[in-house]
Structure 1
Amino acid sequence: MSVELSVHGLTKVHAGQSVAALDAVDLTVPPGSCTAILGPSGSGKSTALRLIAGLDSPSAGTVRIDGREINDVAAENRGVGMVFQRPMLFPHMSVLDNIGFAYRAAGDSRKRSRERAREYLDLVHLGDIGSRAVSEVSGGQAQRVALARSLAGSPKVLLLDEPFSALDPVLRSEMHDLVLELRATLDQTLLLVTHDQQEAAVLADSVAVLIDGRLEHHSAIGVAYTRPSTLAVSRLMGGMNEIEGRWDGVGIHRSELGEMEVEGVSLPAGPAVLLLRHELITLNDNGIRGVVSDLRPTGFRSVAEVTVGSLAVKVELAAGSVVRMGDAVGLDIPGGARSVVTG
């Protein structure tokens, strides 16, 4: 049965530093769910995982698993598994013995530890390579072995510290599929650290955004895209459109695009930035008039830049779009594409 993971006021100030690497973070991961901690390099993501795993001690705050505070519990007794960016396998052991290491250390016979390890090797679809030396497996296979080794200890919580960032896109996608499969099989509570908002969207139920050690946003993935708390969160989630203007404090943003109604915003009247999700805007013969001033491919799709007065609004186009440079178009901006934040 899965458990809840929570941290309260979690703070870390490294020796000799005056600025906290992690600053009073409150975060709860419900049982059986996956939360992605997203943030730029140096934002405190890995620091948070190390504090939860017991690899470092917090300057303040608490870590709880299933409601029990574990600050003073040794790392090996916390019931926490961790997968790092590098597999960190024991080079002198076979694949199977790497996975069964925890059982062997706990006193199981070599035969019994291998039997138990084989179950987890099968879970990551590598049942036929158990006898191989670590040096004989590929990078993708090594990371699967590392994942199986972490799961073999039956952890209450599994921490993933950017474990797929060194893999090529195809292998990364395969690992994403595997994690989703394991979640369905094991009902595991997961906390994932990543700098990739696409990875967060694929794997996680919610996203917690860290900026300079502070938690600036925590919500379901879709909300993080369409209702970011700050400009920094919007940019991290791939937002492209920031329209300067004024907010009336009631429900209307005024800018060179005109008056635009935005629901669900609680901000005082004053200068504010209108955020428009480029994926949700469409082009038609009506709407706000503009001219296509730039077209850039983004793989299968492309992004058009539509000039409206002195503004440039970016719109993601579907594959096969016939829009061309210089076309006069209309912008259809649905309510769900709009949000407002302070500058």
Structure 2
Amino acid sequence: MSVELSVRGLTKVHAGQAGAALDSLDLTVSPGSCTAILGPSGSGKSTALRLIAGLDSPTAGTVRIDGREVNGVAAENRGVGMVFQRPMLFPHMSVLDNIGFAYRAAGESRKRSRERAREYLDLVHLGDIGDRAVSEVSGGQAQRVALARSLAGSPRVLLLDEPFSALDPVLRTEMHDLVRELRSSLDQTLLLVTHDQQEAAVLADSVAVLIDGRLEHHSDIATAYTRPSTLAVSRLMGGMNEIAGQWDGVGMHRSELGELEVDGLDLPSGPAVLLLRHELIRLGDGDIRGVVSALRPTGFRSIADVSVGSTVVKVELAAGSSVAVGDVVALDLAVDARFVIER
């Protein structure tokens, strides 16, 4: 049965540093759910995981697993599994013996530990390579083996520290599919660290954004995209449009795009930035007209720069769009594409 993971006031100040690597983190991961900790390099993501895993000691704060404080509990006794960016397999052992290492360390026979390890090797769809040496497996296979080894310890919480960042896009997608499959079969509580907002969207139920060691946002994925707490969070979630203007404090933002109604905000009147999600803007029959000033391919789709006066609005175009530079277009800004935050 899955358990809740919670941290309160979790802080880490490294020796010789004036600022905190992690500053008063409050975060709860519900049983059976997956939360992604998202942030740029040096934001405290991996520090948080190391403190939760017991690989480092906090300066302040508590870690609780299933309601029990585990601050003084050794890493191997916390019921936490961890998969790192590199597989870190034992090079002198076979694939199967790597996975069964925890059972051997606990005193089980080699035969029994291999039998139990094979169950987890099958879970990651590598049942036919158990007898291979670690040096004979590919990078993607090695990471699957590392995942199986972590699961073999029957952890109550599984921590993933950017484990797929070194893989090529195809292998990364395969690992994402595997993690989703394992979640449905194992009812596992997961905490994922990543710098990739797309990976967070694919794997997680919620996203916690760390900036300079502090939690700036925590919500479901859709809210993080469309209702970010700060400009930094918006940019980290791939936001492209920041329109300077004035907010009337009631429900109207005024800018070079005109007067646009925005629902559900509690901000005082004054300077404010209108955020427009580029994926939610459509070219159609809207009242805002502009000229396509640039096109940038992004794979199967493309991003159009639409100039409205001196303001440029970026719009994601559907595959096969015939829009060309110089075209006059009308922007349809759906209400759910708009959000206003303080400048």
Structure 1 counterpart of 2:262? 262
Deviations 1:177-216 (A, max 9, x none): 0000000000000000000000000000000000000000
**Normalising by structure 2, what TM-score?**
0.99
Whole-Å separation in 2 of the counterparts to 1:174 and 1:87: 16
Structure 2 counterpart of 1:223? 223
Q: Secondary structure at the match of 2:43?
A: coil
Whole-Å separation in 2 of the counterparts to 1:56 and 1:248: 48
Structure 2 counterpart of 1:185? 185
Whole-Å separation in 1 of the counterparts to 2:331 and 2:237: 22
Structure 1 counterpart of 2:278? 278
Structure 2 counterpart of 1:135? 135
State whether residues 161 and 193 of structure 2, in contact with CA within 8 Å, keep that contact through their aligned partners in structure 1: yes
Q: Secondary structure at the match of 2:278?
A: coil
Q: CA deviation at 1:285?
A: 3.8
Structure 1 counterpart of 2:27? 27
Structure 2 counterpart of 1:96? 96
Structure 2 counterpart of 1:248? 248
Structure 1 counterpart of 2:75? 75
Q: Unmatched 5+ residue regions in structure 2?
A: none
Structure 1 counterpart of 2:211? 211
Q: Give the alignment of 1:1-343 within 5 angstroms.
A: 1-343=1-343
Q: Unmatched 5+ residue regions in structure 1?
A: none
Whole-Å separation in 1 of the counterparts to 2:189 and 2:31: 6
Whole-Å separation in 2 of the counterparts to 1:183 and 1:208: 19
Q: Secondary structure at the match of 2:280?
A: coil
Q: CA deviation at 1:252?
A: 1.0
Alignment size in residue pairs: 343
Query: One-letter code of the match for 1:153?
Result: G
Deviations 1:303-336 (A, max 9, x none): 1111101100000000010111111111000010
Q: CA deviation at 1:129?
A: 0.6
State whether residues 94 and 133 of structure 2, in contact with CA within 8 Å, keep that contact through their aligned partners in structure 1: yes
Query: One-letter code of the match for 1:227?
Result: R
Whole-Å separation in 1 of the counterparts to 2:178 and 2:88: 20
Whole-Å separation in 2 of the counterparts to 1:218 and 1:42: 19
Query: One-letter code of the match for 1:169?
Result: P
Query: One-letter code of the match for 1:322?
Result: S
Whole-Å separation in 2 of the counterparts to 1:8 and 1:135: 42
Q: CA deviation at 1:46?
A: 0.2
Deviations 1:208-258 (A, max 9, x none): 000000000000001000000000000000000000011111111111111
User: What is the percentage of aligned positions where both structures have the same residue?
Assistant: 85
State whether residues 156 and 189 of structure 2, in contact with CA within 8 Å, keep that contact through their aligned partners in structure 1: yes
Whole-Å separation in 2 of the counterparts to 1:186 and 1:195: 26
Q: Secondary structure at the match of 1:98?
A: helix
**Normalising by structure 1, what TM-score?**
0.99
Deviations 1:79-130 (A, max 9, x none): 0000000000000111000000000000100011000000000000000110
Between stretches 242-251 and 207-216, larger displacement belongs to 242-251
Q: Secondary structure at the match of 2:145?
A: helix
Q: CA deviation at 1:286?
A: 3.4
Runs of 4+ residues deviating >2 angstroms: none
